[in-house]
Chains A and B, each alone.
Chain A
């Protein structure tokens, strides 16, 4: 996984609640197993009925290479589709800042080097106002080791993140490798269950 340490670039405002993964990645419009994910991002919402671009924020010239997306409550709710994260990273967005972020989507972010930041209260009010006001004209920057978001005028916003998620992103750790350090515990667990609850370790079709 690509490590995340710092990031700098345009912060794109979508100050809405409950932006769901169907909106982020409208899979009905995807062609084939490996579509251009970035091209799919918010595709339904950013085109008119005839397929032409509408006035969606993502169609504005200053957001052709966005780095940060700023939303409101419950970002990424709905379907578990990881392609929602791939669509965001596909256009270069590597940080989402919202008042709250849905559980499965948040996990998917962490596994793809996308930093999910939850900010609330007056700090978030201020950050959202700045992002809307600057409207992509200047860069915002994110410093994960320092746990800060910095606006172009120098105002900084601190955010919380668990130590483990922070390490995971900074080091770009291989998740499977990390878990397989515990392989002997997994084997021991399976042996124990095979004896104490054999039906759990056996998914046998009794018709065969």
Chain B
């Protein structure tokens, strides 16, 4: 009798299973641990207090991304409030023999962009970051866990994370994508269907022809938004596109180890007869570029859509919609297109890789940022910045009137002081449109780079397909 097939999640989980604690939690080995400046200083402090060492400094890396300025010519002190974090990160990393990708380092950038780019994260590997967007690297077929500060300290001391095994959800992305529709639009469409809590307690595998057809960077964008579905971990099974993408990267295996790794990676797929706890089909044909209208990532419509009218909803569904419409300064039932925009932000772990910047630059080229609009393009890593500059993208952005920044998280979470102004309507390629996330009273619409660029030059929310 043949054994029941296994999901890819179970294959990776079981390969990393070290043991089971007396309390029933499973110990999952972490292959690559990446820290960032906003939360790691606390963990370094607690570790020192407890008299503990970093168990595997050689598998641990520090990234300065959350509290750094992205202004050209920045130093530790350009954002004064962040300097204490940047210095504590540097000092804690040095004391614990952890390599730090510091300001000025050619590999500095947003951890979720840099880890794949350097080949630090690999298919079938486990990855932990004290950040909920750790899930991004699922685009390479890695299993990632966003974690808190105490869990971070635990991983530093033990190199394992202790978890109950989540259930498995497969999201089948069907059909094919039209023009000006990319990974971000797919992710937003899934969130609209699944809801912000629909993935709670599950690890999500994104499958189907649309997942397969997405370029690697698009898969990273898709997986980045897994946490916005309520799930800690999401991934796409790795394939030849991923293997080719990784080959030759600085930390990727080479020589005989490459061949050995490749043989293993080719076993990383869900068996045909594997059973999921839940499956969801999302047809992506005819998908318009997506935009959030409200204050949760699930409040999504197509760019040609209309703001919902609470009067048409069941009475118990009205209050949160009314509140979001009021906060966002919208007209119930009105088209989203045409609303004037005050600020555009292209960047963050969601959409700041080279293809994202290329999409935006293609739209911006030969045009000007509309009067009254502040527009920023912030590359996801120093490497992305160099690659973009080698292609002349920086000149396109700057000539149009964009600020071309150094790499960092910037306006995504505003923890480096980069925020909009109260009442300002912002088109942002980031991941959270929560009230006040990008500054008090800021009205954030989440979009992909194409809609963001179109709004910057038009000064209004614009269907990029008509530009």
A interface with B by C-beta (< 8 Å): 16-18, 20, 22-23, 26-28, 31-33, 44-45, 49, 73-74, 77-83, 85, 100, 102-104, 107-108, 111-112, 162-165, 167-168, 175-176, 178-183, 185-186, 189-190, 193, 197-207
Contacts and interface: CB of A to CB of B under 8 A. Distances in A.
B435 interface: yes
A204 B41 contact: no
Contacts of A28: 413-415, 417, 419, 439
Interface string B178-196: 0000000000000000001
A133 B435 CA distance: 28
Contacts of A100: 197, 200
Given A23-B435, A176-B153, A186-B18, A82 B31 contact: no
Interface string B138-181: 00000000111111011001111010100000000000000000
Given A103-B230, A182-B21, A200 B132 contact: no
Given A77-B230, A80-B130, A178 B21 contact: yes
A197 to B, nearest CB: 6
Going nearest first, the 7 A-B pairs with the smallest beta carbon separation are: A164-B23, A82-B148, A199-B253, A111-B150, A108-B148, A74-B197, A80-B132
Interface residues of B, number: 79
A41 B446 CA distance: 26
* Chain B CB within 10 A, most for which of A22, A108, A112, A200: A200
Contacts of B230: 74, 77, 102-103
B158 A179 contact: yes
Contact of B52 (A176, A201, A205): A176
A162 B165 CA distance: 14
B432 A167 contact: no
Q: Is the interface of B mostly helix, strand, loop or mixed?
A: loop
A27 B38 contact: yes
A102 B159 CA distance: 24
B402 interface: no
Contact of B434 (A16, A20, A33): A20
A199 B85 contact: no
A74 B22 CA distance: 29
Contact of A78 (B132, B159, B231, B422): B132
A23 B414 CA distance: 13
A166 B108 CA distance: 42
Contacts of A198: 257, 260
A89 to B, nearest CB: 12
A203 B125 CA distance: 12
A197 B261 contact: yes
12 contacts: A18-B197, A22-B432, A81-B38, A85-B148, A104-B227, A111-B148, A180-B158, A185-B18, A186-B27, A199-B122, A199-B257, A203-B61
Contacts of A203: 32, 58-59, 61, 120, 251
B160 A186 contact: yes
A74 to B, nearest CB: 4
Given A83-B149, A179-B27, 4 more contacts: A32-B81, A77-B196, A178-B23, A182-B19
B296 interface: yes
Given A80-B130, A104-B147, A199-B257, A205 B250 contact: yes
A44 B150 contact: no
A119 B253 CA distance: 48
B158 A176 contact: yes
Contacts of B146: 80, 104
Nearest to B438: A28
A128 to B, nearest CB: 14
Contacts of B201: 103
B147 A107 contact: yes
B231 A103 contact: yes
B298 to A, nearest CB: 9
A78 B227 CA distance: 7
A199 B261 contact: yes
Given A18-B296, A22-B434, A203-B59, A49 B200 contact: no
Contact of B440 (A44, A163, A167, A181): A44
B228 to A, nearest CB: 8
Looking at B23, B38, B118, the one whose CB has the most chain A CB atoms below 10 A away is B23
A28 to B, nearest CB: 5
A206 B23 contact: no
B73 interface: no
A85 B39 CA distance: 14
A164 B154 contact: no
Contacts of B52: 176
A197 B260 contact: yes
Contacts of B148: 80-82, 85, 104, 107-108, 111
Interface string B422-443: 1000000000101111011100
Which one of A28, A167, A202, A203 has the greatest number of beta carbons of chain B within 10 Å?
A203
B74 interface: no
A48 to B, nearest CB: 11
A168 B29 CA distance: 21
Given A176-B153, A176-B158, A207-B250, A78 B18 contact: no
A111 B153 CA distance: 11
Given A102-B230, A176-B50, A186 B253 contact: no
A74 B200 contact: yes
Contacts of B296: 18
B131 interface: yes
Nearest to B232: A103
A104 B232 contact: yes
A73 B59 CA distance: 37
Nearest to A26: B436
A179 B253 contact: no
Given A182-B21, A203-B32, A104 B85 contact: no
Question: Which among A49, A201, A206 has the greatest number of chain B C-beta atoms within 10 A?
Answer: A206
B85 A33 contact: yes
Contacts of B164: 162
A78 B434 contact: yes
Given A18-B196, A44-B436, A79 B132 contact: yes
B439 A206 contact: no
